[in-house]
A and B are shown apart, each in its own frame.
Chain A
Amino acid sequence: MNKDNKKPSLFARLFGNRNKQLSFMEEEQLQSPTRMIVRNFLNNKLGMAGLIVFLCIFLFVMIGPKFFILDLSYQDNTQVNVPPTLSMLSIPEGLEGNVKDITPGTTFGVGVDNDGHLYTWGYTKITEVIDVGNIPEEVKEAHIEQIAAGYDHIAAIDDKGNVYVWGNDRLGQTNLPSDITTAMLMKKNLNFKQLEAGFQFSAALTEDGQLYMWGNQNMADIKVRKEYQGNIEKIALTTYNCVALLKDGTVAYVGLQKNAIADQLPEGLDNIVDIAATGNTVAAVDADGKITVWGNASDGLNVIPEMSAKPVELYGGIKHYTALLENGEVISWGNNFHKQATVPESVVEKDIETVFAGFYQNYAITTTGETETWGLKGYAFGTDNLGRDILTRLVNAGQVTMTVGAIAVIISLVIGIILGGVAGYFGGWVDMIVMRIAEVIGGLPFIPFAMILSAIIGTRISVEQRMYLIMVVLGILSWPGTARLIRAQILSQREQEYVTAAQAMGVREKTIVFKHILPNVLSLILVSATLDFATCMLTESTLSYLGFGIAPPTPTWGNMLNGANNSVVIQQYWWRWVFTAAIFGVCTICINLVGDALRDAVDPKSNGR
């Protein structure tokens, strides 16, 4: 023994270079099969990259649904086919600090600065041809004082009392009342003090209390009772109706129709200082700060939160209210799906002068002229044909797809291991029957067979049961591969020396199969399970894509792509399929990479020995 062979010092043992070249004997000693597989796998760069990306996607879709909560019944026809954008609350530079009026639209915002210039931001396209962002030339030249955005049109009034309407003009949105057109022709200024817009109709109120309404009268109640004319202080528009605050401090429904807003109008409302409306309700605040809400209230609109001071002004979005308090604070309540009822911290700290609320957005102007915003910013991945956020659906769909794939693989593994084990263990006629069944099932055309099962059984069960049905069908149809693998392995392992040794030592057959053979086959099972997982996900998505898998509204990556196969969607609504296809493609590629890398790691031939 020479000096080189003495034990290394403690320091060297702790911090020394462990990657030193080992002698042949040492290297051989260190490697148990499991260790070898792990080491081989870790050395495979492609496989590791696949594993890391897959784990990221996996965590994303498993944790994601906690943050992107899916409401299955949700749909919103004002948010249909919105492309990916987060600019719905981004006020253009020229307008910042110089705001005269802002009106939030469905997916866009329109603002006027103190110099009368008009700005639009967000997604201004209503349909393929109608774009409210196309501001008419005469509007660009005019000095605009007031604006109002409806569902598909914008109305504006300039300093000379001229009224402009653009956007969708097919349902009478631009049919101004004759009084206004005459006045415009005569160059007479009607002195408008308020302009509002609802669903395909608009309303303008003059200083002397005259109310003009025009637009699509099939839907909206745009007639004004004679007795209120000249007596109106302020108006608030719901989706289809108009409610007025009269000069004597009472509130009246100005139209002729019978509906919830008119019928439920509370008695004894007086000393009212401000009114506001959401899509289906109206709210009024009196001089004492008491807020009354009526109409078809949902989302807690009629549950007025506690306020630190007296509310003085009210503003209404489509599903939420915002109130400005005496002390400059702001409170929002109602539907909070787009965070439109969550007033941010930065607003709480500041003194607010006024608020512009509408649809799902709020713009607060501070006393120093700054703008604070909260509400619907936009959709990172756009929305689909029912106005649902694609990102939310994508995350939740991933969870469903992976769960279905995993359970289907587990079912197929259990059946495969049991039947394959039985066939390999017993042999003889049992083997013969099991393998024939496996051959038949493996030979059936998979997709058509799953389709007919899903079509026949699936029509009479609930959506949730149908999901289980798909898992079971996938599992039952995909076990033959696993069974064949297990059987072949058991047959070949039985011939190995270690089994002979175990038999010679008198170990029971059952113990040999489960304690000696199975652990040796485990790595191969893992490989086949990984690859099967990808296959099951693919099959599920293909079935869902064809409409025979998991039924909407439950999202899966497959059924989110259902309906994407026409040129209009592919080209114009690309976001409806690109993101889903991309994440799904990346996911299956990664699983296959991992599976391949595992197979190479398990296969001793690939070690180059």
Chain B
Amino acid sequence: MLSSLPRRAARQLRGVAAPSLRGAARPLSTAPSDAPEEEPETKKLTMVAAINDALRIALKTDESAVVFGEDVAFGGVFRCTMGLRDEFGEERVLNMPINEQGLVGFGIGLAAVGSTAIAEVQFADYIFPAMDQICNEAAKFRYRSGAEFDCGGLTIRAPAQAVGHGGHYHSQSPEAYFAHTPGLKVVYPRDAYTAKGLLLSCIRDRNPCLFFEPKILYRSSVCDVPTGDYMLPLGEAEVLSPGEHITCVAWGAQVHTMARACERAAAEGVSCEVIDLQTIAPWDMHTIRDSVQKTGRLLVTHEAPLTAGFGAEVAAAIQDACFDHLEAPIARVCGADTPFPLAFEKLYLPDELKIYDAIMRTVQY
């Protein structure tokens, strides 16, 4: 389901500016622009392997980096940290008790000293005990201390989104809660390739980052991943396929569901511009605005419930920026305003048909 989506060619990455870095973290090696372009060596990897690779590179290239979380010493429940303890030792790959509030606070303290703290919260659904630490301590640290301190070295990884049978506490997409807190970056990869590049960017970005990994893609997403060190830019959406009639925006696993709906619409002659938002906060309004000014229509889709989901922010901002260009109301195809039911997952989720239906209704408005 992934190989059909166009990807930014790895060679284009050279044009990506490294974010401002501090301390021991190293910038992306960039070739001079006039140098002959070489295809980087790639390898077919699952998202789990790509994330593992990113963590290994982070630990190797930054001696202050520490990975910690519940069960990470033996690889974590999804095996993303497999082998890291053996390679980097128990001082840098730490098992934590099951205490999300405590472990995130631990990471903030560690990062405040200048270390790169890479926390794993076992499921995004378990992040809520740490909400205070993330929203009150991490997000505001630089601002409330007048930049005396920050915890920019903190990255929190957490598996998110639906998995087919997760039920209430292993399925949620909590991005909107955190997007509502200035000072955080919130990022979703859509495949193994973006997972490695975006995770390395989050780890090296000097702002606290939340990295939500669509757990359904852990082993189902297999693609060519550069074996070396690379970063993908935060705060930038990616246009996966250009289109004329409607702009379709999603993130994480929902990108694939949306892309299938777009293919279905294409068979009906509807040309969709498919965009992966990638960074939820701070989000790339420019790319979406430029696209909607061209297509005149917008659809946003996410698994999280409709009300106050991040799609609401996208819709509100775009109707303001593109009011004169809009040919139809902005469509939001989202999860239901219900808890996440085991029995009704299919009914709950904004699936391909619901998105397709919304595309067609919007185009025919």
Q: Do A and B come from one complex?
A: no
A interface residues, Cβ below 8 angstroms from B: none
